[in-house]
Amino acid sequence: MSAYSDKFCQLDVLLTQERAFWQFMPFACHEYPWQHSHPALSGWLDSLTDQDVANLLQDTAALIDELAVFLPALPEVHQLADIPALPLVSEVSPHLPRGLDVGIPGRKWQQVLAFNAVLPSHQLPWLEWCAGKGYLGRVLAAYHHTQVTSLEWQQSLTLAGQSAADQLGLPMTFVQADAFAPESASVIRPDQHAVALHACGDLHVSLLERVAAKRTVAVSVSPCCYHLIRHDTYQPLSAPAKTSELRLSKHDLRMPLQETVTAGQRVKQQRFVEVSYRLGFDALQKYLTGNDAYLSVPNVQKALLKNGFADFCRWAAAQKGLQLPQGIDYAHWQQQGEACFRKVERMELVRQAFRRPLEMWLVFDRALFMENAGYQVSVGTFCDKPVTPRNIMIHAQLEK
């Protein structure tokens, strides 16, 4: 058994055992799912001030310490999900031709440099999957002096990317194609190193599957947007994941991406208003219709929120074809919404503790799939979280 298979199996057992604490929809819950099974946890959550919640959301280590009192398995879950930084193969700030970073947003440039710095050099042509404007490809072409093929679906991006590469004199060729189309498999060849920086859900999975089928020498991907999949539920790749009891919905798969980023006061206030309005309207519609299921309402123009809760309810009711009677006590339902918002925040705090572990379950599934296909796999981070929270790389190369 490989180290990843061991870790995956232990993580799988614990995530399955603890699923009542993360596999649910906070919006749809009237009370904590553990209200009766774990009253001490519920009491502790209710005792937290909004500032406590905000502080703990920013400090995972402190959150785990606090939650471990009620969920003793949590430290082990986190230990299993802890991965090392990948060793640097080259410098993070190598000497590169001037002008290479023109038009590349600062954080993306840092990601691209960090990604390049941990890539082993096989001196093979590169295939850049879901390339966007080929920012990563630019650095690969300039640093390794090897040919890059950049596949991207959006024509405007391929045109912009090709034009920039030509101006910089880089050996890059853009291919405008749908990564899922059967013809796109023809750009994947055995004598290549395939890379994908932040290719969403099925896009990086399909790359791994095709690379394995073609016996391509090496592939390095940093996964993101695990929920962007074509099936309704997650389709496990590896044998251990196929035997897991976990069934992951798109809602579950969104979880790793919901790690909170530090938001300013204005953004926080806007979120409070919108979410509490939505929850207040939901409480009202449940009362009026007797229907206990959460009623989701489409995206709202932010300007409408400024008109107050009653106007929001009238708009939401019109969207859902619901008649609102006269004499509704809107202040009451607004208060209900605000109370629900505070509960939802505290449920999200508990789910927060499982975000990275669930991400690692998904990452280990991919790693095990590649191991089983005969690849030597390493999993680690390629940059720190402030550069991008999607900072995991799976590197696989054919065993010799």
Ligand X SMILES: C[S@@+](CC[C@H](N)C(=O)[O-])C[C@H]1O[C@@H](n2cnc3c(N)ncnc32)[C@H](O)[C@@H]1O
Q: How far apart are CA 114 and CA 93, in angstroms?
A: 8
Of residues 130 and 255, the one with the C-beta less far from ligand X? 130
Chain residues that interact with ligand X, rule: CB under 6 A: 108, 130-132, 135, 152-154, 157, 178-180, 197-200, 203
Q: Which is nearer to ligand X, 18 or 202 (CB)?
A: 202
DSSP-assigned letter for residue 155: H
Smallest separation, CB 148 to ligand X (Å): 12
User: Which CB, 183 or 329, lies closer to ligand X?
Assistant: 183
In the complex, minimum distance from the CB of residue 132 to ligand X, in angstroms, rounded to a whole number:
3
Least distance to ligand X, CB of residue 199, Å: 6
Determine the number of helices (DSSP H) and then strands (DSSP E) in the chain: 15, 7
199 has which bridge partners?
A: 223
Whether 353 contacts 73, CB under 8 Å: no
Minimum CB distance to ligand X smaller for 180 or for 287 = 180
Least distance between ligand X and beta carbon 115 (Å) = 9
Task: Give min distance, CB of 397 to ligand X, in A.
Answer: 20
In the complex with ligand X, the residue whose CB is nearer, 134 or 280, is 134
To ligand X, the closest distance from the beta carbon of 296 in angstroms equals 25
Closest CA to 234 of 245, 219, 249: 249
Q: Which of 233, 132, 223, 147 is nearest to 179 (CA)?
A: 132
Beta strands, E only, the chain: 126-129, 148-152, 172-176, 193-200, 218-224, 375-381, 392-398
The answer to whether 74 and 349 have CB atoms below 8 angstroms apart is no
Q: How many other CB atoms are there within 10 angstroms of residue 389's CB atom?
A: 18
DSSP β-ladder status, 218-224 and 392-398: antiparallel
Q: Which is nearer to ligand X, 198 or 343 (CB)?
A: 198
Which residue's CB is nearer to ligand X, number 199 or number 350? 199
Q: Which is nearer to ligand X, 189 or 342 (CB)?
A: 189
Cα gap 198→131, rounded to integer Å: 9
Nearest to 344 by CA among 21, 32, 123: 32
Distance CA 133, CA 101 (A): 12
Beta-carbon-side half-sphere exposure of residue 348 (alpha carbons within 13 Å) = 21
Compute the radius of gyration of the chain from its Cα atoms. Answer: 24
Q: Decide whether 160 or 398 has the Cβ nearer to ligand X.
A: 160
- Rounded to a whole number of angstroms, the minimum distance from the CB of residue 385 to ligand X is 16
Q: Which two tokens stand for residue 219?
A: 């592939």
Q: Give Cα separations from 54 to 149, 230, 287 (angstroms).
A: 44, 35, 31
199: nearest Cα among 182, 218, 174, 219: 219
CB 130 to ligand X: min, Å: 3
Question: Tokens at residue 30, please?
Answer: 């009237």
When the beta carbons of 139 and 203 are compared against ligand X, the nearer one is 203
